[in-house]
Structure 1
Amino acid sequence: MIKEKLREERNEQVEINLSPMIDCIFILLIFFILTTVFVEETGIKVNKPNAANAVSLEKNSVLIAITDQGKIVYGGHEIGVSGVRAVVERALRDTESSVIIQADRNSLHGLFSEVYGEAKAAGARNIQFSTKTE
């Protein structure tokens, strides 16, 4: 009689309910998607000049790069000086973003001042220059 009960218990399969675990994973996924801030990179590597003190980049910033060959790049695409104003105006429509200019240490100062002027003309109030700490 006892042997029959043991045989019956062995034949039963134990199932683990995975529904609560899947629910938790989906909730965590939604949380991380909603709290993540995406910073759009310029798409090129710029050799930034050194600075004695620096602050971290702000979130939701417009990053514009100036290469040592004189190219102006936003989002991996060359936009030129004339494209800076349109890019900054489009970014400022949604939120009050800051503009960060990442100029190569070997780029021309005149080109930097043109990009700065175009960003200012587009209505940017907070324009910063990106450097690296020593």
Structure 2
Amino acid sequence: MGRFSESIADDEGETGIDMSPLIDCVFILLIFFIVTTVFVEETGVEVDRPEAASASQLEKTSLLIALTAAGEIVYDGRNIGIGGVQPLVRQMLQKDPVPIIVQADKNSGSGLLVQIIGEAKAAGAEKVSVAALATGG
């Protein structure tokens, strides 16, 4: 009986959960979510876009330029002004030919919007769009 009681005492001392497989699974899930995440680039300001019946979804890879109601031209949270549109578009088009989307506030001036489109076209942009909210119709 002495041998039997010693083996039971040894088994009770080693009760535990091996954490290595659990940690491996967590790291694999973390890597999966990092790789599959799609980052949407925003302009950095809130723009109240006008509604349009013909609005459609555009590509996710695009250059977003915002025109605020105060007349500021914003890219990536920075006010670039009308003089900064052409160099920005030219620089971005050197990397990859992407469409240009202008998110104009509905209370902004149309003259400045036309200037932004003209600067983007002068920089070599082939496709320049104006962002709008789609209506239910």
Q: How does 1:20-31 map to 2 (within 5 A)?
A: 20-31=21-32
State, as a whole percentage, how many aligned pairs show the same letter: 48
Q: How does 1:47-126 map to 2 (within 5 A)?
A: 47-126=48-127
What is the root-mean-square deviation in Å for CA atoms of aligned residues?
1.8
Per-residue deviation, 1:7: 1.9
Match of 1:8 in 2: 10
Contact 1:66 1:107 in 2 (8 A): yes
Contact 2:56 2:134 in 1 (8 A): no
Structure 2 regions of 5+ residues with no counterpart? none
TM-score between both structures, scaled by the size of structure 2? 0.85
Q: Give the Cα separation in 1 of the matches to 2:10 and 2:34.
A: 48
TM-score between both structures, scaled by the size of structure 1? 0.87
Q: C-alpha offsets along residues 94-125 of structure 1, whole Å, 9 cap, x if unaligned?
A: 11111000001011111000000000011111
Per-residue deviation, 1:66: 0.6
Aligned residues: 133
Matched position secondary structure for 1:63: strand
Indicate how the Cα distance of structure 1 residues 38 and 125 shifts in structure 2: closer, same or farther if over 3 A, else same: same
Q: C-alpha offsets along residues 40-95 of structure 1, whole Å, 9 cap, x if unaligned?
A: 21111111000113222422211001111111111111111110001111111111
Indicate how the Cα distance of structure 1 residues 95 and 25 shifts in structure 2: closer, same or farther if over 3 A, else same: farther
Q: After alignment, is 58-67 or 1-10 more displaced?
A: 1-10
Q: Give the Cα separation in 2 of the matches to 1:54 and 1:103.
A: 14
Q: After alignment, is 67-76 or 26-35 more displaced?
A: 26-35
